[in-house]
């Protein structure tokens, strides 16, 4: 009888552990689902809302981005063959050229960024919420005056403007400018080079390989 009582106590303890675990898991999901909204004023005095706080003039991104870098919209490239990729690129070719000319940057570099970011998918959305061809975060898009990130012309123009800013800021060092486009200029300055984030390091390599091939 004592043996049966002991086994029953073990079963009850096990069930209680499972229930507590389930409650903690649910609490974590609720915490992840809730998104805090921050606000700050930009250089023009306009109040801008974002999903990240402003610290020392830089928006602090999620812990994932801070540890790994910003992921690109990989799902937009799944199952996409070279023919389909070229077709997308051709459809946006003139828009990319115009944006590059307007912001005085190399159209081939801008095109390489667009390909790595979204495979030229104007409807792309990454798992961290970056949108459109150039994968602009909502707060960044607002800072750049982009009102519709799924409008290819607006999005590409905004991406070209931001890339031009990063190139100027890092004295036209392509590696640093691309790293800043992905992880933010604050991260590049903090690490005095390409940040040690897997996403960012792979991103820079991929863009530069495509850019180099386009120059051949």
pLDDT in tens, 57-90: 444 445 555 567 899 999 999 999 999 999 999 9
Active-site pick, 83, 117, 189, 192: 117
pLDDT tens digits, one per residue of 120-148: 999 999 988 999 999 999 999 999 999 99
| 182 inside domain | yes
More confident residue, 17 or 194: 194
| 116 inside domain | yes
83 assigned to active site? no
| 120 inside domain | yes
213 phi and psi angles, rounded to 5 deg: -65, -35
Question: Across-strand partners of 58?
Answer: 55
| 3 inside domain | no
Containing domain of residue 157, as a range?
A: 72-216
The CATH number of whichever domain residue 114 belongs to comes to 1.10.530.10
What is d(CA 195, CA 99) in angstroms, rounded to the nearest whole number? 28
Instruction: Output the pLDDT for position 42.
Output: 52
| 67 inside domain | no
* Coil, helix or strand at residue 5: helix
What is d(CA 138, CA 136) in angstroms, rounded to the nearest whole number? 6
More confident residue, 43 or 23: 43
| 121 inside domain | yes
Instruction: Output the pLDDT for position 44.
Output: 53
Query: Tokens 């004592």 sit at which residue?
Result: 2
* Coil, helix or strand at residue 38: strand
| 10 inside domain | no
Mean per-residue pLDDT, 12-37: 40
- The number of folded domains in the chain is 1
pLDDT tens digits, one per residue of 91-125: 999 999 999 999 999 999 999 999 999 999 999 99
| 11 inside domain | no
CB of 176 within 8 A of CB of 155? Answer: no
Long-range contact set of residues 43-49: C-beta below 8 Å, sequence gap at least 24:
48/139, 48/142, 48/143, 49/139, 49/142
What is d(CA 214, CA 216) in angstroms, rounded to the nearest whole number? 6
Instruction: Output the pLDDT for position 177.
Output: 98
Beta strand spans in the chain (E): 38-41, 47-50, 54-55, 58-59
Q: What is the DSSP code (8-state) at residue 156?
A: H
pLDDT tens digits, one per residue of 167-200: 999 999 999 999 999 999 999 999 999 999 999 9
User: Does pTM top 0.75 for this prediction?
Assistant: no
User: Which of 146, 194, 150, 166 has the alpha carbon at shortest distance from 105?
Assistant: 166
């Amino acid at each position: 009888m004592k043996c049966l009582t002991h086994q029953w106590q073990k079963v009850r303890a096990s069930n209680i552990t499972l229930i507590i675990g389930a409650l903690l898991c649910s609490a974590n999901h609720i915490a992840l689902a809730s998104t805090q909204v921050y606000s700050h004023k930009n250089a023009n005095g306009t109040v801008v809302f974002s999903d990240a706080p402003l610290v020392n003039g830089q928006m602090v991104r999620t812990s994932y981005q801070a540890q790994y870098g910003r992921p690109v919209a990989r799902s937009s490239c799944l199952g996409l063959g070279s023919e389909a990729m070229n077709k997308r690129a051709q459809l946006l070719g003139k828009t990319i050229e115009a944006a590059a000319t307007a912001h005085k940057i190399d159209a081939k570099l801008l095109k390489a960024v667009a390909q790595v970011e979204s495979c030229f998918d104007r409807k792309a959305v990454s798992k961290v919420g970056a949108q459109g061809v150039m994968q602009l975060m909502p707060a960044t898009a607002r800072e750049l005056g982009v009102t519709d990130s799924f409008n290819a012309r607006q999005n590409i123009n905004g991406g070209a403007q931001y890339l031009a800013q990063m190139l100027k800021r890092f004295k036209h060092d392509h590696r640093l400018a691309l790293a800043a486009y992905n992880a933010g200029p604050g991260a590049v300055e903090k690490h005095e080079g390409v940040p040690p984030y897997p996403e960012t390091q792979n991103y820079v390599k991929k863009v530069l390989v495509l850019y180099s091939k386009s120059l051949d």
